[in-house]
Chains A and B, each alone.
Chain A
Amino acid sequence: MSNTDALIEIRNLSKTFPGVKALDSVNFTLRKGEVHGLMGENGAGKSTLIKVLTGLYQRDGGEILLESKPFHASRPQEANNAGISTLYQEVNLIPDLSVAENIYIGREPKKFGRIDWKKIYQDAENDIRKLDLDIDVTEPVSSYSMAIQQLIAIIRALNLSARVLILDEPTSSLDLAEVKQLFKVIRKLKNDGIGILFVTHFLDQVYEITDRITVLRNGKFIGEYETAKLPRLELIAHMLGKNLDEFTLEQQKELKTKKKASDSDDFLRVENLQKKGAMNPFSLEIRRGEVMGLAGLLGSGRTETARLLFGIDKHSGGSLFLDGHEIAISSPKKAIDQNFAFCPEDRKVEGLITELSVRENIILALQARTGVLKPLSPKQQEELADKYIELLQIKTPSRNQSVKNLSGGNQQKVIIARWLATDPVFLILDEPTRGIDVGAKSEIEKLILQLRDEGMAILFISSELEEVVTCSDKIAVLRDRNIIGELNGEEMEVGNIMRVIAEKEAVQ
């Protein structure tokens, strides 16, 4: 195939951040009239690639050709002007302004020096007709659904005479019907000769809409494939960097001292818990002294599951049973009253109170439980802090050090310490080892098993499949916001997890 119909050609693109090689000699080609999926797990370099392309980041090496001419954007505006438009997961429109105005704001047509509203409304009307939409362009954007808003954003982008459309997870918050509507428009644009770069975590969608797929992993180019000729399992293997044969033979790590699951009754039972638009109904059973792992690709619903169990998101259906009794978990407070604990994925935003000291961060959850009137004495606080600093080997110059000065791994340990101080019966760990060094990581893995042996029930979420296999007693596999399978005992292998993700049809 000749490259004459190539819109964008990227060769040997590199981008380094302090300490990380985010892109390492990456190649990528986008042709006219194709939908090209860009796939990869966290840290693969997808968003870095997009940001270099749109001028948010500057590249360190390599070249970008736009229609065979060298191209370089130093600001997003330049990329826009060159015909490259980007749509993000969050709709970037002005919610209070009308549909028409959102399409034209910043470049409103003028007549006698004043904004020509008549023309704006007429043009907007024409624009939405072209995409077979039937909406009132004088209504504020906020009165329409997310899907319509995405389409409006696309119209705005196209109006900037876009030849390349980058869609960065546009479907994350859309329901099935809305995705269909979006895809209809994407196919239409494709037929008009526009090149579309599509990033998503939904496997079904990739296979439905893309013509070709480029896979990145850890900043490296893995390969470019025709979608129709790439089996799902192979795609997952490429994304995760695993060779399937390796895993069927792989020995379980020594670390794991598999314990026969206790014969006690279920400690926590979840039946058909769900939240509309975030997580489809699922059921789970966890016993005391058991680690349940959640495995799945990015965006498969792992964090959503955790948030439902901890009452951060209110479920719209289903029930929870603790030791056979139905309980209502409608807020984190309620969950904590049941002795639940939750270490969130986003440490900085949801976990740490960065302005406060290590000591304060460690005692906060316990203090919140004992209440305002029963303060922990300074001595108790210091003892608690010291106990966990030693137990978890938190590296800090002093317990009064501001927690923002600690490394990622030590910050994570502070959050775990905070919850251990409350002596929980059920601990949810969402990506506890993300972004921390190998040593700290294996310490945390060891800790999980130790806590399990002490009788704690643990829900363990990680995007690293080996880790899930190593630490879990059973594994629930997720895909596209569903729990699609459960693995026990000998079945628990990385290969099997991948097979489940690839093969099982999602329950709709």
Chain B
Amino acid sequence: MKILPDIQNPNFQRLLWPLAALAGILLFNLFFTPGFFEIEIKDGHFFGSLIDIINRAAPVMLLAIGMTLVFATGGIDLSVGAVMAISGAVAATVIRPDYVKGVLEYGEIQPLYLVIGIPLALSVLCGLWNGILVAFVGIQPIIATLILMVAGRGIAQLITQGQIVVFIHEPFQYIGSGFFLGFPFPIVMVVLIFILTYLLTRKTGLGLFIEAIGANAVASRFMGVREKQIKLAVYMFSGLCAGIAGLVVCADIKAADANNAGLFLELDAIAAVIIGGTLWGGRFTLLGSIIGTLIIQSLTTTILTRGIAPEVTLVFKAVVIIAVALIQSEKFRNVFSVMVASRRTKA
């Protein structure tokens, strides 16, 4: 077993830039934000800025894991935010089925497997819908998933009748705000899903097929790779990840807010995947997407602690994404290297 990462390994090289960016932000905080790296233990739970960053980033990390695979096949899933809203709305409705009719009594307490199982099943169904449109009907991914992005939030609002459904359900709340071995449960969940996805893609043929399809669909088809089925599976998985993220958010705030749950998180997830170094069609790196999410979230937290309005992070996100996209653009690199060369000859 190798312990040190292989520096020549292209997989590691891909992570170099995102890691450097993350290190830069953390370094900045080391000097300018007192107590940034402190981690306290209260009642056996860990607390601190770092833990907080990861915990807040958990939903986007979940989305980014699903989005990474979709991206690698050369697709995109715009509907994940809406699916989050649907998932949360369904979970709350399972807990308080008559709330929207004005009945405040809980009725019988629903078992946890129903509270989790029904929303997740529906989320996978949403992914199935996207997958069918992309793989079997042949609509471009950005358009196919746009439909659910528009209609999905409406469906979520329909389920909650536009109300914010508040609830109390101890076991379910644990998903959002519980602690496991001292860590917030969402973090534990992300780690679990990450490991599971890693095993699923890298320890089976799936990851290779996904990359093959994304990099060269024609050649993959000629080799008998089941392009359609794999695309379908990837969109279903993205739906599942979105569903889990929706549950985390919903359980954390103990309410389903169909208007705002997951709003614009699809953009954060896309940004994280791009920053993390996954190509649009081809090689993907799950770890990169996680790092990408951490970059965005630590940036947000840093800005918050600086006393700047958090909304301004949007400007930073914009700059980072365009910078990464330009570095990946062959045209830009050509123009850039020509510029550097001409400057050198002048000097």
> Are A and B interaction partners?
yes
Contact digits for B202-217, partner A, Cβ 8 Å, 1 yes 0 no: 0111101101100110
**With a CB–CB cut-off of 8 A, which chain A residues contact B25?**
none
Which of A336, A353, A372 is in CB contact (< 8 Å) with B219?
A: A353
Q: Which of B35-43, B223-231, B237-245, B285-293 contacts A (4 or more CB under 8 A)?
A: B223-231
B10 nearest in chain A by CB position: A402
Is B197 an interface residue when CB atoms closer than 8 A count as contact?
A: no
A352 and B219 contacting across the interface, CB-CB below 8 Å? yes
Is B282 an interface residue when CB atoms closer than 8 A count as contact?
A: yes
A353 and B10 contacting across the interface, CB-CB below 8 Å? no
Is B220 an interface residue when CB atoms closer than 8 A count as contact?
A: yes
Is B283 an interface residue when CB atoms closer than 8 A count as contact?
A: yes
B291 to chain A, nearest CB (A): 21
Knowing A349-B218, A355-B215, A356-B212 are in contact, say whether A375-B224 is a contact too (CB < 8 A): no
Contact digits for B257-300, partner A, Cβ 8 Å, 1 yes 0 no: 00000000000000000000001001100000000000000000
Knowing A369-B224, A373-B204, A375-B204 are in contact, say whether A349-B219 is a contact too (CB < 8 A): yes
B215 and A364 contacting across the interface, CB-CB below 8 Å? no
B203 nearest in chain A by CB position: A375
**With a CB–CB cut-off of 8 A, which chain A residues contact B226?**
333, 368
Interface residues of A in 29-69 (CB under 8 A from B): none
A336 and B223 contacting across the interface, CB-CB below 8 Å? yes
Knowing A353-B212, A372-B205 are in contact, say whether A364-B223 is a contact too (CB < 8 A): yes
B287 to chain A, nearest CB (A): 18
Which of A350, A364, A372 is in CB contact (< 8 Å) with B212?
A: A364
A333 and B224 contacting across the interface, CB-CB below 8 Å? yes
Is B221 an interface residue when CB atoms closer than 8 A count as contact?
A: yes
A351 and B219 contacting across the interface, CB-CB below 8 Å? yes
Knowing A370-B205, A372-B206, A402-B10 are in contact, say whether A418-B223 is a contact too (CB < 8 A): yes
A344 and B209 contacting across the interface, CB-CB below 8 Å? no
A370 nearest in chain B by CB position: B205
Knowing A354-B216, A355-B282, A373-B204 are in contact, say whether A368-B211 is a contact too (CB < 8 A): no
A368 and B223 contacting across the interface, CB-CB below 8 Å? yes
Is B222 an interface residue when CB atoms closer than 8 A count as contact?
A: yes
A373 CA / B209 CA spacing, docked (Å): 12
A356 CA / B10 CA spacing, docked (Å): 11
A353 and B220 contacting across the interface, CB-CB below 8 Å? yes
- Which one of A312, A349, A352, A372 has the highest number of Cβ atoms from chain B below 10 Å of its Cβ? A372
A367 CA / B212 CA spacing, docked (Å): 12
Interface residues of A in 324-349 (CB under 8 A from B): 332-333, 336-337, 342, 344, 349
B198 to chain A, nearest CB (A): 13
Which of A342, A350, A355, A365 is in CB contact (< 8 Å) with B283?
A: A355
**With a CB–CB cut-off of 8 A, which chain B residues contact A376?**
205
B279 nearest in chain A by CB position: A355
A367 and B208 contacting across the interface, CB-CB below 8 Å? yes
A353 CA / B282 CA spacing, docked (Å): 9
A466 CA / B225 CA spacing, docked (Å): 36
Is A371 an interface residue when CB atoms closer than 8 A count as contact?
A: yes
Knowing A353-B215, A354-B216, A355-B215 are in contact, say whether A336-B205 is a contact too (CB < 8 A): no
Interface residues of A in 111-152 (CB under 8 A from B): none
A364 and B208 contacting across the interface, CB-CB below 8 Å? yes
A401 to chain B, nearest CB (A): 10
A360 and B208 contacting across the interface, CB-CB below 8 Å? yes
A350 CA / B222 CA spacing, docked (Å): 7
Knowing A333-B224, A336-B224, A351-B222 are in contact, say whether A372-B204 is a contact too (CB < 8 A): yes
A267 CA / B142 CA spacing, docked (Å): 47
**With a CB–CB cut-off of 8 A, which chain A residues contact B279?**
355
Knowing A350-B222, A355-B283, A402-B10 are in contact, say whether A375-B205 is a contact too (CB < 8 A): yes
A469 CA / B62 CA spacing, docked (Å): 60
A17 to chain B, nearest CB (A): 19
- Which one of A337, A355, A371 has the highest number of Cβ atoms from chain B below 10 Å of its Cβ? A355
**With a CB–CB cut-off of 8 A, which chain A residues contact B225?**
364, 368
**With a CB–CB cut-off of 8 A, which chain B residues contact A312?**
222
B205 and A371 contacting across the interface, CB-CB below 8 Å? yes
A355 and B211 contacting across the interface, CB-CB below 8 Å? yes
A148 CA / B124 CA spacing, docked (Å): 48
Contact digits for A9-44, partner B, Cβ 8 Å, 1 yes 0 no: 000000000000000000000000000000000000
Which of B206, B216, B221, B230 is in CB contact (< 8 Å) with A352?
A: B216
A350 and B219 contacting across the interface, CB-CB below 8 Å? yes
A29 to chain B, nearest CB (A): 40
B215 and A365 contacting across the interface, CB-CB below 8 Å? no
A344 CA / B209 CA spacing, docked (Å): 20
**With a CB–CB cut-off of 8 A, which chain B residues contact A375?**
203-205
Interface residues of A in 357-411 (CB under 8 A from B): 360, 363-365, 367-376, 402
A349 nearest in chain B by CB position: B218
Contact digits for A304-321, partner B, Cβ 8 Å, 1 yes 0 no: 000000101000000000
A367 CA / B206 CA spacing, docked (Å): 10
Which of B203, B211, B218, B230 is in CB contact (< 8 Å) with A356?
A: B211
A374 CA / B215 CA spacing, docked (Å): 22
**With a CB–CB cut-off of 8 A, which chain B residues contact A350?**
218-219, 222
**With a CB–CB cut-off of 8 A, which chain A residues contact B205?**
367-368, 370-376
Q: Which residues of A contact B (CB under 8 A)?
A: 310, 312, 332-333, 336-337, 342, 344, 349-356, 360, 363-365, 367-376, 402, 418
- The 6 A-B pairs at the shortest CB distance, nearest first, are namely A336-B224, A355-B215, A365-B223, A368-B224, A367-B205, A375-B204
Question: Given A355-B283, A356-B208, A372-B230, list of 11 further CB < 8 A pairs?
Answer: A332-B224, A353-B215, A356-B215, A364-B212, A367-B209, A370-B205, A372-B209, A373-B205, A375-B203, A375-B204, A418-B223
Name 26 interchain pairs, CB-CB below 8 A, sorted by A.
A332-B222, A332-B223, A332-B224, A333-B226, A337-B224, A342-B222, A349-B216, A349-B218, A350-B218, A350-B222, A351-B222, A352-B219, A353-B212, A353-B216, A353-B220, A355-B211, A356-B215, A360-B211, A367-B205, A367-B209, A369-B224, A372-B204, A372-B205, A372-B206, A375-B203, A418-B223
